[in-house]
A = this chain, B = another copy of it.
C-alpha cells in the first residue's frame, strides 16, 4: 500500500494506491489552516499501513535535502501556509519514506508512467488555472536545479490588443500574469466560464500560451506537451494553441511530431483530473 497526497491551495486530495497506479480509496480535504487540514490528512492515513508516501504540493516549496527548510512550503501568499513544514509534520505521524515534489512535477511523472506520455522519457505537464505551473520530465528525470522550475513566470511578448497590465505580484505581465484564470477574469470583467463564446478571449489566451509552449519546446524539446487545469477545460483552446505554436516555430524544429502530428503532440492529460494524485503515487515507485 502506497499513500499519495496532492496538496493544493484549495484542497488536499489524499489516496491509497498500488504500484500499478490504481487509486483504491481517496478523500478530498479543504485547504484551510495547516493545523486543520493536516489533522484530517493524518486521520485518513491512520491505521492504513502505508509503507511509503508521495506528496506533490503547491509551491514554491523547498526541495533541497541540505536545507533546514526541506519539506516546507516557502513564500506562498496563501495565509497560514508560508514556511509551513509539510513533510516535517507528516514525518512526525508516519515515520516512513516520503518523497516530495511539486504538484506539476508529480503530474508530469504520472502522465509519463500511466497517461498521455506513457512510455516516454520526456514530457511537460502544464496547468492553467488560478496560476500557471509546469512540471517537466527530461531524460527520464523530473527537472530540478537550484530550486524547482517556475515556468509559469516566463516573460512573453504582449498581444498588441491587450490593455490589461497583468496580475502577477512579482512580474506584472509574465505568462501567469496575463494568461491565468484570474488574469482572464480581470481583463474581460467576467469569469472564463462566462466568456466561452467570445472568440477574442480565446485567441488572446492561445497567443500567450502558444508563445510559452514554443519557448519550452525550443528549450527542453519535450516528447509530449500536456495541458490541464481549469482554463484548459475550454477544449476549443487546443486547436488554437497548436496552430499558433506551429506558426511561431516556423518549421525550424525538424521533427515529424511537430511538423505533421501536432494533434497528438499538444494534448489534454491522459489521467484527467487524477494526474496530480496518481503522479504523487508515482513519486514513490
Which of B153, B171, B218 interacts with A150 by CB under 8 Å? B218
Most chain-B Cβ atoms within 10 A of its Cβ — which of A171, A220, A251, A257?
A220
Task: Report A250-279 residues with CB < 8 Å from chain B CB.
Answer: 250-255, 257-258
A234 at the interface (CB under 8 A from B): no
Given contacts A150-B252, A253-B150, contact A145 B214 (CB under 8 A): no
Residue of B nearest to A251 (CB): B170
B220–A74 contact, CB under 8 A? no
In the complex, what distance in Å separates the CA atom of A274 from the CA atom of B215? 29
Task: Report A172-224 residues with CB < 8 Å from chain B CB.
Answer: 211, 214-216, 218-223
In the complex, what distance in Å separates the CA atom of A253 from the CA atom of B148? 9
Q: Which chain B residues lie closer than 8 Å to A148 at the CB level?
A: 221
- Interface bin, chain A: 35 or more
Q: Which chain B residues lie closer than 8 Å to A223 at the CB level?
A: 145-146
User: What DSSP secondary structure best describes chain A's contact surface?
Assistant: loop
A153–B218 contact, CB under 8 A? yes
Q: Which chain B residues lie closer than 8 Å to A136 at the CB level?
A: 219
Given contacts A157-B158, A211-B155, contact A257 B146 (CB under 8 A): yes
A27 at the interface (CB under 8 A from B): no
Task: Report A4-59 residues with CB < 8 Å from chain B CB.
Answer: none
Task: Report A133-154 residues with CB < 8 Å from chain B CB.
Answer: 134, 136, 138-139, 141-151, 153-154
| A107 CB to nearest B CB, Å | 17
A220–B222 contact, CB under 8 A? no
B248–A143 contact, CB under 8 A? no
